[in-house]
Amino acid sequence: MRKSLIFATALAFAVPALANDIGQVKVAKGTVQIEREGKRVPASVGTPVRIADLLVTGADGSAGITFSDNSLVSVGPNSVFAIDKYRFDSTTHVGEFEGTLKKGKLAAVSGKMVKQTPESMKIRTPSSVMAVRGTEFVVEVKDPAAAPAAR
Amino acid sequence: MRLAAALIVLAAAGCAGAPERAPVPPELFVVVPGPTGHVGTIVVRSGGAERVLDRAYSAQRIAGDGSASPAALSADEVTREFGSTLESLPGRPTSFMLYFLEGRDELTPASRQEMERVFAELKRRPLPDIVVIGHTDTVGNLAYNDKLSLARAERMRELMIGLGIPPERIQAAGRGKRELLVPTDDNISEARNRRVEISVR
The ipTM assigned to this model is 0.86
Write out pLDDT tens, residues B176-199. Answer: 999 999 999 999 999 999 999 999
Whether the CB of A130 is below 8 Å from some CB of chain B: the reply is yes
How would you write the pLDDT of chain B (201 residues) with one tens digit per residue? 455 555 444 444 444 445 556 689 999 999 999 988 899 999 999 988 899 999 999 999 999 999 999 999 999 999 999 999 999 999 999 999 999 999 999 999 999 999 999 999 999 998 999 999 999 999 999 999 999 999 999 999 999 999 999 999 999 999 999 999 999 999 999 999 999 999 999
Mean pLDDT to the nearest integer, A108-122: 97
For the stretch B149-153, contacts whose Cβ atoms lie closer than 8 Å and that sit 24 or more positions apart, written own/partner, are B149/B174, B149/B175, B149/B176, B149/B177, B150/A4, B150/B174, B151/B105, B152/B100, B152/B105, B152/B194, B152/B195, B152/B196, B153/B196
Please say if the pLDDT value at position A11 is more than 60.
Answer: no
Whether A45 and A25 have beta carbons less than 8 Å apart is answered as yes
- Stated length of chain B: 201
Mean pLDDT of A95-116: 97
Please give the pLDDT value at position B13.
46
Is any Cβ of chain B less than 8 angstroms from the Cβ of A13? yes
Res A1: pLDDT: 39
Binning pLDDT at 50, 70 and 90, where does residue A146 land?
low
Other CB atoms within a 10 A radius of the CB of residue B51 amount to: 18
pTM of the model: 0.82
Residue type, A144: P
Q: Which of residues 87-126 of A touch B (CB under 8 A)?
A: 103, 105-111, 119, 125-126
CB-based contacts of A135, cutoff 8 Å, min separation 6 = A109, A110, A114, B34, B38, B40
Q: Please work out, in degrees rounded to the nearest 5, the angle formed at the alpha carbon of residue B113 by the alpha carbons of B111 and B119.
A: 90
Distance from CA of A65 to the nearest CA of B (A): 6
> What are the C-alpha distances in Å from B15 to residues B2, B8, B118, B136?
20, 10, 62, 74
- d(Cα A143, Cα A27) in Å, to the nearest integer? 24
Residue A136: which of B32, B47, B129 has the nearest Cβ? B32
Binning pLDDT at 50, 70 and 90, where does residue A134 land? confident
User: At A14, is the pLDDT very low, low, confident or very high (cuts 50, 70, 90)?
Assistant: very low
Q: Is the dihedral of CA A23, A24, A29, A30 positive or negative?
A: positive
Per-residue model confidence (pLDDT) at position A4: 42
Which amino acid, residue A79?
Answer: S
| Pairing status of strand B170-174 against strand B130-134 | parallel
User: A135 CB near a chain B CB, below 8 Å?
Assistant: yes
Distance of CA B50 to the CA centre of its chain: 28
**Which positions ≥6 away from B150 have C-beta within 8 Å?**
A4, B134, B172, B173, B174
Model pLDDT, residue B10: 47
Residue B146 identity:
D
B101/B120 Cα distance (integer angstroms): 23
User: Which amino acid belongs to residue B179?
Assistant: E
Q: Whole-number mean pLDDT of chain A?
A: 88
Residue A5 banded pLDDT, cuts 50, 70, 90: very low
Q: What are the helix (H) ranges across B1-89?
A: 2-16, 75-87
Comparing CB atoms, the residue among A66, A103, A132 nearest residue B90 is A66
